[in-house]
Chains A and B, each alone.
Chain A
Amino acid sequence: MPKFEYAPAPESRAIVSLRESYGLFIGGEFTPGARAFKTISPATEEVLAEVTEADPADVDRAVSAARKAYEHTWAPMPGKERAKYLFRIARIVQEKARELAVLESLDNGKPIRESRDVDIPLVAAHFFYYAGWADKLDYAGYGAAPRPLGVAGQVIPWNFPLLMLAWKIAPALACGNTVVLKPAETTPLTALAFAEICQQADLPAGVVNIVTGAGETGRALVTHPGIDKVAFTGSTEVGKEIARACAPSRKKLTLELGGKAANIVFEDAPVDQAVEGIVNGIFFNQGHVCCAGSRLLVQESVYDQVLAALRRRLETLRLGDPLDKNTDVGAINSAAQLAKIRELSEAGEAEGAQRWSPPCDLPVKGFWFPPTVFTGVSQAHRIAREEIFGPVLSVLTFRTPAEAVEKANNTPYGLSAGVWTEKGSLSLWMASRLRAGVVWANTFNKFDPASPFGGYKESGYGREGGRHGLEAYLDV
């Protein structure tokens, strides 16, 4: 029995008022559809609500509503007027921050500490940031009065449901586009709550449309001829399929796909903070992060020291109820994802890597996977090459900076990388050689709306965030 056992400190669910069933948000109203599916809490497998599955006809209605709003209302509206709506949305998100955080943790399984301190504040920040651009597009570097594209079809993943929505909708609306967005089938609830926020903000009907559903709905959306722009965040596999589907059309496409980021720790690193960075890199959001630092590259001269410190630190991680304010690691988002994590972890063992997890009790119900570290991993192992998208860290070693660069770049992905050293010149030397969209120096998984984000190689193309993020939604 530990001396100082933190008593349960659950955030109250009472603040969230869930409806029994949700329709599709089309033309400013919730409208019924033919089929429905259930969304559950991955921590308990409890059914949270019933959600409509949009079929091609529903998607068509949504695209028409978006087209009408684009032509008659949103595109002709002066930027300074569009900005007012975006500012209003940002403020409502802030006002409803607690409710949205609880809802996100319920539907996604992520710890409330993360939805409260990271996801929701960043959602508001994105809307505030792009609201500021709406009347300044002349100065974005694309010439005078850049034109919007039209109707954007956006498909987002389940790992940061509302934040990915914000990354997609805020720049699209700021530039004068209207959107049809499909949230992931396992995490539709905050997108539907966002639809209510659009109503509350008096956003003109049809500017934002939310169609829920699974892969079929997504396919109907991105292949719809009335779409001018497709934005997708998700797996590389689906990304390739979308790229093929869009290739014969004039649709502008941005893809933000998988990753297998290297987190590189040099011998002169600030060890305690590097260990925090490793933990934050791979166990933040249960490792359901496309830019997760899933490959730890440690310089051999400090390998023992870093690994010992990492193991000690992992023993303090608190896994359990996502709504408990002291939880560090929550639930895996779905049974399917859990199966994939298990499969790859078993492959890691079969290929000869050593598996280690701190002692931790997993809840009986729901989908759970303990924080896991594989040592003795080589570049050839599947767990070093394939994206696991779970709380599984593969540890590799290197001897010189050049070898670190070589190993870090030796992957089909290139979304992010981390460099830990007290030597500024080495950070810069590494950053100029790492083929990754984001290189973090002495930190990891830090996001800001002003900073562009995107990948190299199979991690996708196009940038989201910052001034660069405007390009994807302008006819330039």
Chain B
Amino acid sequence: MSALDLRGFLHGLPGVDQVGAQARAAMLASRSVKTTAKQWALDAAISMIDLTTLEGQDTPGKVRALCAKAKRPDPADPTAPMVAAVCVYPDLAHVAAADLKGSGVHVASVATAFPSGRTHLEVKLADVKYAVAAGADEVDMVIDRGAFLTGNYQHVYDEIAAVREACGGAHLKVILETGELVTLDNVRRASWLAMLAGADFIKTSTGKITPAATLPVTMVMLEAVRDFRETHGRQVGVKAAGGIRTAKDAIRYLVLVNETAGEDWLDPRWFRLGASSLLNDLLMQRTKLATGRYSGPDYFTLD
């Protein structure tokens, strides 16, 4: 596809009416999920978490603690499922890889000059290769939002394709940083652009920009992966990241997946929640459902 064709294609996608999209997302957020449905949803949400630490103050010790939590979220209850992955910066990927080896929990590393992505492609590719070599089997890249907003879609496409290649066998999640794209029309175009360029997952946000994941944005992305599978025959996953802190929020996302993309996406292979504090709220609700009593935050490990 030429740069002109690509532009024509993206601008030819049906528009998104913001008011209508917000109303639909709000309606789905009013679904009432109780008893057995809640039980299923809490466990599903836990198993879809990319347990994340992306701080300047991260250390091998912090990452090891997170890995322990990922493998066994609730030491008091071995029936609590493991999370999907641990998500760290590239220089700590080897720590996570060593700890999680053989556990079934994936090692995700952000790369490509996360979170802003403002550097040369060579540096970004080196970042990706370094992360993969350190043992990351999932790479979370950021797109060049500046290029996207100037309409240089070809540049964004080429970068994603190059990173895709540098990933080798690792899974590629493409972060759109929807908080900087602002409009839902942009979210839809960026979703298609990333999928056309080879993304395995499209992801809402870095978590460093407000707003991060929102229900309407995630809904538009879910519509995109649904439509892309219909036209291109390939299923792409969605990751909502940032700002999802409570079990109630997480369940709303699962309802959104269920009624937008459909139940094929209700699986850690196709839907992820990028979060950190969310896990403990899910565990607390899980315990409440099992015992009928709320316990305090001190009964759940920090990490």
Interface residues of A (CB under 8 A from B): 2-9, 113, 117, 268-273, 276-277, 316, 325-326, 422, 442-443
11 A-B pairs besides A270-B17, A273-B17 with CB distance below 8 A are A3-B263, A4-B37, A4-B255, A4-B263, A6-B32, A7-B34, A9-B32, A270-B14, A270-B20, A272-B21, A272-B24
Residue interface bits B233-268, CB-to-A below 8 A is 1, else 0:
000000000000000000000110011000100100
CB neighbours (8 Å) of A272 from chain B are: 14, 16, 20-21, 24, 223
CB neighbours (8 Å) of A273 from chain B are: 16-17, 20-21, 24
Contact assessment for B24 and A7 in the assembled complex, using a CB-CB cutoff below 8 Å? no
Assess A271 versus B14: contact at CB under 8 Å? Given A4-B40, A276-B20, A325-B32.
yes
Question: Looking across the interface, which residue of chain A has its beta carbon closest to that of B263?
Answer: A3
Question: Looking across the interface, which residue of chain B has its beta carbon closest to that of A422?
Answer: B15
Q: Which of B13-37 contact A (CB under 8 A)?
A: 14-17, 19-21, 23-24, 30-37
Question: Looking across the interface, which residue of chain B has its beta carbon closest to that of A112?
Answer: B32
Contact assessment for B17 and A7 in the assembled complex, using a CB-CB cutoff below 8 Å? no
Within the complex, the shortest CB–CB distance from B159 to chain A, in Å, comes to 28
Q: Complex Cα distance A112/B284, Å? A: 30
Contact assessment for A2 and B263 in the assembled complex, using a CB-CB cutoff below 8 Å? yes
Within the complex, the shortest CB–CB distance from A410 to chain B, in Å, comes to 28
Assess A7 versus B36: contact at CB under 8 Å? Given A276-B24, A442-B20.
yes
CB neighbours (8 Å) of A269 from chain B are: 14-15
Contact assessment for B20 and A443 in the assembled complex, using a CB-CB cutoff below 8 Å? yes
Question: Looking across the interface, which residue of chain A has its beta carbon closest to that of B13?
Answer: A271
CB neighbours (8 Å) of B19 from chain A are: 442-443
Q: Which of B17, B34, B37, B223 has the most CB of A within 10 A?
A: B17
CB neighbours (8 Å) of A270 from chain B are: 14-17, 20
Interface residues of B (CB under 8 A from A): 14-17, 19-21, 23-24, 30-38, 40-41, 44, 223, 254-255, 258-259, 263, 266
21 residue pairs of the A-B complex, CB under 8 angstroms, read A3-B258, A4-B37, A4-B44, A4-B258, A4-B266, A6-B37, A7-B38, A9-B34, A268-B15, A269-B14, A270-B20, A271-B14, A272-B14, A272-B24, A273-B16, A276-B20, A276-B23, A316-B259, A325-B31, A326-B31, A443-B19
Within the complex, the shortest CB–CB distance from A448 to chain B, in Å, comes to 14
Assess A3 versus B34: contact at CB under 8 Å? Given A273-B17, A442-B20.
no
CB neighbours (8 Å) of B37 from chain A are: 4-7
Q: Complex Cα distance A447/B73, Å? A: 48
Q: Complex Cα distance A3/B223, Å? A: 19
Question: Looking across the interface, which residue of chain A has its beta carbon closest to that of B30?
Answer: A113
Q: Complex Cα distance A4/B259, Å? A: 10
Q: Complex Cα distance A3/B43, Å? A: 12
Within the complex, the shortest CB–CB distance from B42 to chain A, in Å, comes to 12
CB neighbours (8 Å) of B32 from chain A are: 6, 9, 325-326
CB neighbours (8 Å) of B24 from chain A are: 272-273, 276
Q: Complex Cα distance A254/B38, Å? A: 50
CB neighbours (8 Å) of B21 from chain A are: 272-273
CB neighbours (8 Å) of B33 from chain A are: 6-7, 9
Which label, helix, strand, loop or mixed, suits the secondary structure of the B interface? helix
CB neighbours (8 Å) of B14 from chain A are: 268-272
Q: Complex Cα distance A325/B32, Å? A: 6
Q: Complex Cα distance A6/B263, Å? A: 13
CB neighbours (8 Å) of A117 from chain B are: 30
CB neighbours (8 Å) of A3 from chain B are: 40, 258, 263, 266
Q: Complex Cα distance A2/B257, Å? A: 13
Q: Which of A270, A272, A276 has the most CB of B within 10 A?
A: A272
Q: Complex Cα distance A5/B36, Å? A: 8
Q: Complex Cα distance A419/B35, Å? A: 42
Q: Complex Cα distance A5/B258, Å? A: 10
Question: Looking across the interface, which residue of chain B has its beta carbon closest to that of A269?
Answer: B14
CB neighbours (8 Å) of A277 from chain B are: 20
Nearest first, the 4 A-B pairs at minimum CB distance are A273-B20, A9-B32, A325-B32, A270-B17
Q: Complex Cα distance A326/B37, Å? A: 12
CB neighbours (8 Å) of B223 from chain A are: 272
Q: Complex Cα distance A269/B37, Å? A: 36
Contact assessment for B20 and A4 in the assembled complex, using a CB-CB cutoff below 8 Å? no
Question: Looking across the interface, which residue of chain A has its beta carbon closest to that of B44?
Answer: A4
Q: Complex Cα distance A191/B139, Å? A: 61
CB neighbours (8 Å) of B36 from chain A are: 5, 7
Question: Looking across the interface, which residue of chain B has its beta carbon closest to that of A8?
Answer: B34
Q: Complex Cα distance A105/B14, Å? A: 37
Within the complex, the shortest CB–CB distance from A323 to chain B, in Å, comes to 11
Question: Looking across the interface, which residue of chain B has its beta carbon closest to that of A313?
Answer: B259
CB neighbours (8 Å) of A442 from chain B are: 17, 19-20
Within the complex, the shortest CB–CB distance from B62 to chain A, in Å, comes to 34
CB neighbours (8 Å) of A316 from chain B are: 259
Q: Complex Cα distance A276/B34, Å? A: 26
Q: Complex Cα distance A316/B263, Å? A: 11
Q: Complex Cα distance A396/B254, Å? A: 35
Q: Complex Cα distance A244/B38, Å? A: 58
CB neighbours (8 Å) of B258 from chain A are: 3-4
Q: Which of A6, A269, A316, A443 has the most CB of B within 10 A?
A: A6
Q: Complex Cα distance A7/B19, Å? A: 30
Q: Complex Cα distance A113/B37, Å? A: 19
Q: Complex Cα distance A272/B255, Å? A: 17
Within the complex, the shortest CB–CB distance from A421 to chain B, in Å, comes to 9
Within the complex, the shortest CB–CB distance from A313 to chain B, in Å, comes to 9
Within the complex, the shortest CB–CB distance from A419 to chain B, in Å, comes to 12
Question: Looking across the interface, which residue of chain A has its beta carbon closest to that of B251?
Answer: A4
Within the complex, the shortest CB–CB distance from A112 to chain B, in Å, comes to 10
Assess A6 versus B31: contact at CB under 8 Å? Given A271-B14, A272-B14.
yes
Q: Which of A269, A271, A277, A443 has the most CB of B within 10 A?
A: A271
